[in-house]
Structure formats: C-alpha cells, structure tokens
Amino acid sequence: MSYFETLTLALRNISGSKMRSFLTMLGIIIGVTAVIVIVGLGNGMENYMRESFASLGSNSLNVIINGRGSARSVSIDDMYEVVAKHSDVLEQISPVASVSGGIKTGNEAHRSTSVTGVSEDYLDMKDFHIAAGRGISYMDIEDRKHVCVIGDFVNDQYYEGHGLGDTVRIRGAKFTIVGILESETEDTYVGNTDDVVFMPYSTASRVNGYGTIYNYNITMHDESQAALAKQVIEDALFEIFADSDAYNVISMTEILDFMTTMLNVVITVLAIIAAISLLVGGVGIMNIMLVSVTERTREIGIRKALGAKESVIMRQFVMEAAVTSALGGTIGILLGYMLSSVATKIIQIALDPMLAVTPSWDSVLMAFGVSAGIGVLFGYLPARKAARLNPIDALRYE
C-alpha cells in the first residue's frame, strides 16, 4: 500500500466526519493563528523601530560632553581633530546645539518646530536635500550669521511655499531664510521630520545662551562598525578628560540592537504561550484518534484478517493524525494572514500608519512543520494501539 494511497485514505476518513475533524483541528488552528499574528506583530514593531531609528540616522553617534568641573573641556577643534585622526572609521562631524522655544512667524508661535544649530556638513550627513536657496555655509558659522534653512513643512504651513528670503523669529532674534529643504517624510503631523529649522551652530550657541557646544553628531563609514566607532571616540575623550563620566557616546545602532533584543524576548515569550495551545491541540488530536481507534476496532480487525501488516495500520493512523494536524496548521496560517492584515488596518488607523503586522515566512514554515509534527507525535500512541490490536478480538468487537 503506497504512501499516496494511505494519504488518500486519511483524507477520506477526515472528510467523512467533517465536524469532528474541524473540532479536532481547532486547537491547532488557534495555536498556529496566534503564533503567526504574534510573530507578525513582533516583526512589524521591529521594522517600525528600525525605520524610526533610520530617520534619526543609524549610521551616526551622538556625543554628549558633560565636562569635568570648569577646569577641563574639549573644544570644537579638538573634536574635529578626533574625527580627522580616525578617518578610517569616522566620516563627518557636526556640533549640534538645540534651541528651545520653537519659532515665531508673524505673530504666530509654533512651539513644535525643532530648531537646531549645526555645521555646514550636517544637512549632508542627515541626507537632507536643498529644494531652493542654499544650505548653511562655513562663512555663516564664522560670522555667526542670523540665517537659517527651513524644512518643507514649515515652508508649506507657515509661508504658503514662499518662505525663501522671508524672516523668522527665534528667541526674539530675527533670522533670514536662505534655504528650503526637500520633503523627507509623508507625515503631516506637527513636529515631524520636515517641521525643522537649521541655523549655524555658532549662532545657536549664542542664541540659546550656553556659549559652548555640548553635543556632537558624528557619522561613520559603515553602520556595522558602530561599536568600533564608539570605542574610538571614547578613547579619544578619555585621553582628554581622564574620566569616563565626563562624556557620553550614544550609538543609535546600539540602542536599536538593545531594543530589538528586548522586543524579541517579549515576542518569544508571547509566541511560546501561544504555542502551548498547539500542545493542547495535539492532545485533542490524540484523544480523538484514540476514540477513532476504538470505533474502528472492527475495521482494523477486518483489515488485519485480509493481510494488513502492523506497519500498514500504524502508518494509516499516523498519517490520519498528521494530515488532520497539518490541515489545521494550513487553516491556521491562512487565518493568521487574514487576521494580520485586519490587525494592520486597525493599528494603522488607530495608532500609527507606519506600524504593520508582517508575518514572516519562517514563522509560517515553522508553524506548518510544528503542527504536522504534533500530529505525528500525538498520533503515534493511538496508531500503535490500533496496530497491536489482536485480529481475533478486533473481529469480534461489537
């Protein structure tokens, strides 16, 4: 009796009692659906985080100088020198001076707009592109000019697209708009990536009242060298301060990796909980198969009398359990995908249009394999019971 014939027979027996087969599969269906949706949610969250971080620049490091009393500090030139010295790893540097309070256009205040003082390289480092006018220049920084570049959102919302050459008030001072940036994002909420104003860092450090620069943004050639880049900068700063508390080097990649690890732990725990239902489903299959063996005792007796070997009977029952389980797994996969797309729609409306539930092929293949495996595992005991039935007793069974 070939495997194909055994499979056909199993399918016939399953379709012979549809309701029972469906109820038997239910545990597996629920388990597989849950695993797929949960893993999909995890993937979606990870993608979301990666994209969010990518817009912050996952190839960059933030350096925060806390200083050590007033005795020692690090100058902007020192920082530039560090980057130049390690140009094999590090690429560009820009001092970063944030200016709080937002902007004022005419008589309207827009507190959500982020205002940052940067170097002439910064826009390039962050992949901003000039749509009109020019960027920040070295001379602007040298001369502490009151000029700025505004984001697409600011230009659109507050200047009706004609901001170039106009002025903006920041902390009481008047700035000339010398450049407009291209749009970076589809988002339309206030405070998005396009709701920004950049000015020379030298001007910013005066406007915000600190006088010196505490933050730097440094890019590296290769994202995967984040740890090395961080080490290089830390070593250089330790030489200057001789105190590791005086500075902080934050790598976005490192934070992202950490958060991804945390997220994966949570998702794994959830998936394991969901997988318990697969186990319960397996026990359900075993139960029904045992009932089925009892019900079909006479059939087994007849088949044995007609020459079926134990292995053939065994194979028939294991196949039936495995097919039931795998069928449940397949339904679960379909249901999981459907539920994922429904969940994605709801989440995108209710929470964030960037967040999607994306089931992975890994989890689908695994769910299918595990459910078929559970069928074989839990079908084994009933199948062995069937195979070992004494043909005489089985034939007499009423």
Partner 1 sequence: MGALIEFQEVCKYYYMGDTTVKAADHISMKIERGEFVAIVGQSGSGKSTCMNIIGCLDVPTAGTYLLGGRDVGKMNKNELAEIRNEMLGFIFQQYNLLPRLDLIENVEIPLMYKGVPKAERRKRAQEVLEQVGLGDKLKSKPNELSGGQQQRVSIARALVGKPAVILADEPTGALDSHTSREVLSILQQLHRDGNTVVLITHDNSIAMRAERIIRLEDGQVVYDGDSKSPDALVQAHIPEDEEEEK
By CB under 8 A, the residues from 134 to 163 that bind partner 1 are none
Q: How far is the CB of 268 from partner 1 (least distance, A)?
A: 44
- Taking CB under 8 A as the criterion, the residue among 3, 16, 69, 349 binding partner 1 is 16
Q: Please, what is the minimum distance in Å from the beta carbon of residue 307 to partner 1?
A: 2
Q: Does 19 bind partner 1 (CB under 8 A)?
A: no
| Residue 12 binds to partner 1 (criterion: CB under 8 A) | yes
Site for partner 1, residues 260 to 319, rule: CB under 8 A: 298-299, 301-312
Position 391 contacts partner 1 (CB under 8 A): yes
Does residue 365 touch partner 1 according to CB under 8 A? no
Position 11 contacts partner 1 (CB under 8 A): no
Sign of the C-alpha dihedral computed for residues 264, 265, 268 and 269 taken in this order: negative
Smallest gap from Cβ 322 to partner 1, in A, equals 20
Question: What's the closest the beta carbon of residue 299 comes to partner 1, in angstroms?
Answer: 6
Please select the residue that binds partner 1; options are 5, 127, 182, 362, rule is CB under 8 A.
5
Give min distance, CB of 51 to partner 1, in A. 56
CB of residue 302 vs partner 1: minimum separation in angstroms? Answer: 5
Q: Which residues bind partner 1 (CB under 8 A)?
A: 1, 5, 12-13, 16, 298-299, 301-312, 391-392, 395
